[in-house]
Amino acid sequence: MDASAIDLPNSSEDEKAISELAQTYRDIWSLLEERAPATVEEVPSTLHELSPPTPRAAWQELGRLATACETPSSLHGEKWVTIRLDGCMFGTLTKRMREAGLIGPGYSDEVGEIMQLCCRAMMDEFKGNIAYTHSDEMTILLTPRLTTTTGAAQDWVHGGRVQKWLSIGASVVTALFNRRLAQMAEERGIELPDNVIAHFDCRVGEFDSLDEALALILWRAFDCSVNCVQDGCHHGGAPIEIVQSDFSEKLKWLHKAGRLPLKPHQAYGSLFIRTMGEFDAVVPATNETVRVTRRVNVKVNDGAHGPQNLLLLPRNGMPLLPSEGDKRLELRNGSFWRYAGPSGTGQESNRASDAREDRKRRGRGRRQRRQ
């Protein structure tokens, strides 16, 4: 099994003035590159990957600038586009899930897997190139597309209509998440209470450059690096004085309570890259084995090659996005998923490109039968 690197267009930032957002992103990246990772007394670094210390105010400014780009009324094909989804009242939902016996105390691996599944389904539905998910949120990034003479994208799904993207994005994740909750309840022999139902909001952003778009993902990775420890203490039964204490005290408590390391997705989130992989397939009619190319979503921060914490990439001399030859793009067992579509089943697709391919295959079959 092989994978090819994601094909990203060149940024034009060298040809024009750097925006405030892109410059802030670069400044933070430089700090992460120059500074050594933080340490917490009594907590071995092997149990939790800590990022270099950086000013919280810088991250707040990065978030302010990034979210200011999440108000487009229409989408332009030459821009970088993001789709960001958040769970609504997710803390209340998880509490009700525990009360119903659907999940146990602490972090739920199954809920984390559902969020990753929903994230990959969004990549498939909207032809996303990059995605990052942690906790109850996800961000999907789409690279610039071929455009018409008026600047409209030629292959945005649903015609690139913002309202369509907002409604369909929220409905895809809401429907798939709740379907999986129902399956969990059935497996446990539990009748799912009416008040155990998830719903997600959705927002679309538009950015002039790759650095601007990556700023949004890096900002969310910072949020994960802070909130994972808070979440671990809150759901791990820590005393209220620990929950309200600073980051170091929380991490010390988790260590003393034997709760480190945290689960990888809980601690660092999951970064997926859409690329192409080569596989062996058998032709049913001839039983012949052939080499085929298929779309795959690869998890690149699984720790096999490089840190899991995205904020440690600059210090390790690694870009946020892998390029050709980067070992993070290797198709390792458990690190990649074939196209699944909005249902997450792998059995359906509403992509126009797939429909065209199906028509071509049927046409070839008819021509061969006539011959």
User: Stretch 310-334: mean pLDDT, rounded?
Assistant: 94
Find out whether 217 and 141 touch, Cβ atoms under 8 Å. yes
- pLDDT for residue 102 is more than 50: yes
Give the pLDDT score at 259.
Answer: 96
Question: What band does 360 get if pLDDT is binned at 50, 70 and 90?
Answer: low
- Which 8-state DSSP code applies to residue 145? -
Question: What band does 350 get if pLDDT is binned at 50, 70 and 90?
Answer: very low
User: Stretch 325-351: mean pLDDT, rounded?
Assistant: 73
Specify the higher pLDDT residue, 164 or 3. 164
- pLDDT for residue 76 is more than 90: no
Give the pLDDT score at 158.
Answer: 86
Give the pLDDT score at 13.
Answer: 46
Residue 188 lies in domain: 2-370
User: Stretch 280-300: mean pLDDT, rounded?
Assistant: 88
Over the stretch 201-233, which tens digit does the pLDDT of each residue have? 999 999 999 999 999 999 999 999 999 999 999
Nearest one of 87, 170, 94 to 134, comparing CA atoms: 87
Give the pLDDT score at 15.
Answer: 44
- pLDDT for residue 171 is more than 90: yes
Give the pLDDT score at 6.
Answer: 61
- Taking each helix axis from N to C terminus, what angle separates 210-235 and 247-256, rounded to the nearest 10 degrees? 50
Question: What band does 302 get if pLDDT is binned at 50, 70 and 90?
Answer: very high
Alpha carbon 296 to its chain centroid, in Å, reads 14
- pLDDT for residue 354 is more than 60: no
Question: What tokens appear for 177 in the block?
Answer: 């998440």
Give the pLDDT score at 365.
Answer: 54
Kindly state the percentage of the chain with pLDDT values over 70. Answer: 85
Distance in angstroms (rounded) separating the CA atoms of residues 115 and 117? 5
- Which 8-state DSSP code applies to residue 250? H
DSSP symbols for 86-124: EESSHHHHHHHHHHTTSS-SS--HHHHHHHHHHHHHHHH
Distance in angstroms (rounded) separating the CA atoms of residues 239 and 311? 29
Give the pLDDT score at 281.
Answer: 82
Give the pLDDT score at 233.
Answer: 95
User: Stretch 182-188: mean pLDDT, rounded?
Assistant: 96
Distance in angstroms (rounded) separating the CA atoms of residues 265 and 136? 11
- pLDDT for residue 358 is more than 50: no
- Domain CATH for 163: 3.30.70.3000
Number of independent structural domains in the chain:
1
Give the pLDDT score at 363.
Answer: 59
User: Stretch 62-91: mean pLDDT, rounded?
Assistant: 95
- pLDDT for residue 140 is more than 60: yes
Find out whether 108 and 100 touch, Cβ atoms under 8 Å. no
Distance in angstroms (rounded) separating the CA atoms of residues 209 and 346? 32
Give the pLDDT score at 340.
Answer: 65
Give the pLDDT score at 290.
Answer: 87
Find out whether 261 and 48 touch, Cβ atoms under 8 Å. yes
Over the stretch 2-50, which tens digit does the pLDDT of each residue have? 555 566 555 544 445 789 999 999 999 999 999 999 999 999 999 999 9
- CB burial readout 103-115, b (16+ within 10 A) else e: beebbbebbbebb
User: Stretch 345-368: mean pLDDT, rounded?
Assistant: 50
Mean residue pLDDT of the chain comes to: 89
Question: What tokens appear for 72 in the block?
Answer: 């487009």
Distance in angstroms (rounded) separating the CA atoms of residues 136 and 121? 15
User: What one-letter code names the amino acid at 15?
Assistant: E
User: What one-letter code names the amino acid at 18?
Assistant: I
Give the pLDDT score at 349.
Answer: 38
Give the pLDDT score at 277.
Answer: 86
